[in-house]
Amino acid sequence: MIKIKKKIPLIDQHDKFGFWGKKFGGSYIPETLKKPVEDLTKTFQKLRKNKSFLKRRDYYFKNYIGSPTRFIKLENLSNHLGGAQIWAKVVSDANGGAHKIYNATVHALICKTMGKKYIVGDTGAGYAGKMLSMAAKKFGLKCKIFMGSKDIKRQKPNCDAIRKNGAQIIPVTSGSQTLVDAVSECMRYWVSNCDTTHMCVGSTVGPNIFVKICGWSTSQISKELKVQIMKKFGKLPKKVKLINCVGGGSSAYGFWSEFIDFPKDQIELIGVEAGGPKNSKLHAAPLSKGAKLGILHGAASYVCQDRDGQINETESISAGLDYPGVSPIHCFLKDAKRAKYTYVTDESALRAYQMVRKFENLNPSLEPSHAFAEAIKIAPKLNKETIIIVNSCGDAKKDKYILRQRLKLI
């Protein structure tokens, strides 16, 4: 049975080959990328212990990103539903409107430290691309963002922001024209340009080092939350449920990392994947719908695939969750039975969005709306001593056209 070691960050609980639980993760990369990946690994290991670098990171987290973000009780929603108290960590308060800014800022700082002038990244919902374009502009870097053509059409507000920040969007027309293809094309580009260009993977996916950098960056969320919980309650409550949407898995890891060592009967970790349209067989829920182990984007994880091992097409109203794989860290947490994973349909996410908007002064994007749907479902069944905390990790400004169109159908 897979076991989690205490007092060691989960991002560091891999073996010498880069695998968590001896089977998730690794670095399945072409020979041409071995040297740049090794160089990046060595650089990151030095920087995360470098006091000067940490001071710069903390400065920008506070003065550029706006940490800490709010921790608030959703009083009206809780009273309407009855049962458990529902709270939110409003990470969408961060500069740019989503958690992706933490990872983007750290990658931009690493890029500058390595003396490179160009940075590239992938994006689905447009959050990762928008944040990387912001960080690139802030630190004087030239930036390219790879994005599926389908996502470009449905995420126009973030695309407009990316271009406004001076970055170039590279449309990806292959495959499903979504995030999975954007990541692939971004990696292909880096293979040919790694001498002058740094690559930022937008989630806790990809070869081992990118999982580690993203996890290290987003863990800021749970560090803040732990302090905020202690301040609000005086101690950690006896029953806490931390609910987070899961696509690649960066916001969930960042939301959970400081709480993994606590007993699961005290702090339960619940990940919510994209179940897709109600009457469709397509989904983006590899963890909760029994996907098999596969290799995707340089790492081993549970992947939506057919009998021949070919990647299945996925479907979700949420571009940020529309991904056939998932972070090896979440595969590890699932098999270690430390986290529980479920899924929510498009329709349920939309209804949850409407309910949150009706009762609270929040505007969650379609990604965290999946998490809110699960919270709304379970809250009435629980007692008032139970604390549910949802990571509202993005705002819905990017989804305004989808919401305008789809809510007419609900």
Q: Where are the beta strands (DSSP E) in 214-369?
A: 240-245, 267-276, 292-296, 299-303, 339-345
Residues 36 and 177 in one domain: yes
Does residue 1 surpass a pLDDT of 90? no
Q: Classify strands 142-148 and 19-20 as parallel, antiparallel or unpaired.
A: unpaired
Residue 10 lies inside a defined structural domain of this protein: no
User: Average pLDDT for residues 116-120, to the nearest whole number?
Assistant: 97
Report d(CA 408, CA 213) in Å as an integer: 41
- Domain CATH number, residue 326: 3.40.50.1100
- Which of 19-23, 190-194, 387-391 is predicted least confidently? 190-194
Which residues form the domain of 125?
23-61+100-215
Residues 147 and 225 in one domain: no
Q: At what angle do helices 127-138 and 100-113 cross, to 10 degrees?
A: 40
User: Average pLDDT for residues 302-307, to the nearest whole number?
Assistant: 95
User: Average pLDDT for residues 67-87, to the nearest whole number?
Assistant: 98
Residue 124 lies inside a defined structural domain of this protein: yes
Number of domains in the chain: 2
CB 102 within 8 Å of CB 213 = no
Residue 1 lies inside a defined structural domain of this protein: no
Residues 237 and 167 in one domain: no
Average pLDDT of the chain? 96
pLDDT band at 155 (very low <50, low <70, confident <90, very high): confident
Q: What is the pLDDT of residues 122-154, one digit of tens each?
A: 998 788 999 999 999 999 999 999 999 999 998
User: Average pLDDT for residues 195-200, to the nearest whole number?
Assistant: 96
User: Phi/psi zone of residue 100: left (φ > 0), alpha (ψ -120 to 50 degrees), beta?
Assistant: alpha
Residues 129 and 91 in one domain: no
Residues 109 and 203 in one domain: yes
Residues 31 and 72 in one domain: no
Residue 318 lies inside a defined structural domain of this protein: yes
Residue 207 lies inside a defined structural domain of this protein: yes
Classified as helix, coil or strand, 345 is: strand
Q: What is the pLDDT of residue 181?
A: 92
- Domain boundary among the residues 197, 215, 233 is at 215
Q: What is the pLDDT of residue 270?
A: 98
Q: What is the pLDDT of residue 54?
A: 98
- Domain boundary among the residues 215, 244, 271 is at 215
Q: Which of 332, 344, 212 is nearest to 275 (CA)?
A: 344
Residue 17 lies inside a defined structural domain of this protein: no
- Domain boundary among the residues 167, 183, 215 is at 215
Q: What is the pLDDT of residue 11?
A: 98
Residues 201 and 225 in one domain: no
DSSP secondary structure letters along 26-70 = -----HHHHHHHHHHHHHHHHHTT-HHHHHHHHHHIIIII-SSPE
Residues 47 and 85 in one domain: no
Residues 39 and 149 in one domain: yes
Q: What is the pLDDT of residues 345-395, one digit of tens each?
A: 999 999 999 999 999 999 999 999 999 999 999 999 999 999 999 999 999
Residue 299 lies inside a defined structural domain of this protein: yes
Count Cβ atoms within 10 A of the Cβ of residue 262 and give its class: 0-12 exposed, 13-18 middle, 19 or more buried.
middle
pLDDT band at 280 (very low <50, low <70, confident <90, very high): very high
Q: What is the pLDDT of residue 409?
A: 52
| E strand or H helix that includes residue 221 | helix 220-233
Residues 196 and 77 in one domain: no
CB 136 within 8 Å of CB 143 = yes
